[in-house]
Amino acid sequence: MQEEVESRTVTLIVSGSKFTGRMLKDAISKYLAHRKEKKLQKTRDSPVKPCGKQTVKELVGQNQGVSNIEINDPDIKSFEKIARKYGVDYAIKKDRSTSPPKYLVFFKARDADALTAAFTEYSSKKVKQQERPSVLKKLAHFKEMVKNAVVDRSKKKELER
């Protein structure tokens, strides 16, 4: 804790004949204005490079070469989650010309290996979902089995001697 306080210490030198509270306030405000200006200048000098999900126009504008993959699955959100995990720069475009819409995933050519890994993980996740039916479907199936099962509820009384 003490090291954090020491590393954040700022030396401020003010020259004046009489040191007052107002003079200290002015010196600190000038220092903060200087830091703010430096921070703004730093952000102006280096433009922010987009990463992750972006538009096709931004992706093409980076001049890295663009490739695409076609996905027919309407659940595109799960693919986006995996692509973010692998740090891929991508853009998704929906093609509505077909009756079940398909999605075109554009990505940088240099991200091909990372996208291949992300796409294999996405496809294995989809295969697991198809193998394993949902709990609600299982429950509905068992309800139907119970309804169709014939239960003999008549009581039989017999005397034993």
pLDDT at 140 over 90: yes
pTM greater than 0.75: no
Quote the pLDDT of residue 57. 87
Tokens read off for 19: 């040191």
Q: What are the strands, taking DSSP E only, across 9-143?
A: 66-71, 90-95, 102-108
Which residue do the tokens 């050519």 mark? 109
Give strand pairing partners of 53.
90
105 contacts 119 by C-beta, under 8 angstroms: no
pLDDT tens for residues 79-138? 888 888 888 888 888 888 888 888 888 888 777 888 888 888 988 888 887 777 788 988
Of 24-28, 32-36, 84-88, the least confident: 84-88
Task: Name all domains of the chain by residue range, CATH numbers in brackets.
Answer: 56-133 (3.30.70)
CB 115 within 8 A of CB 88: yes
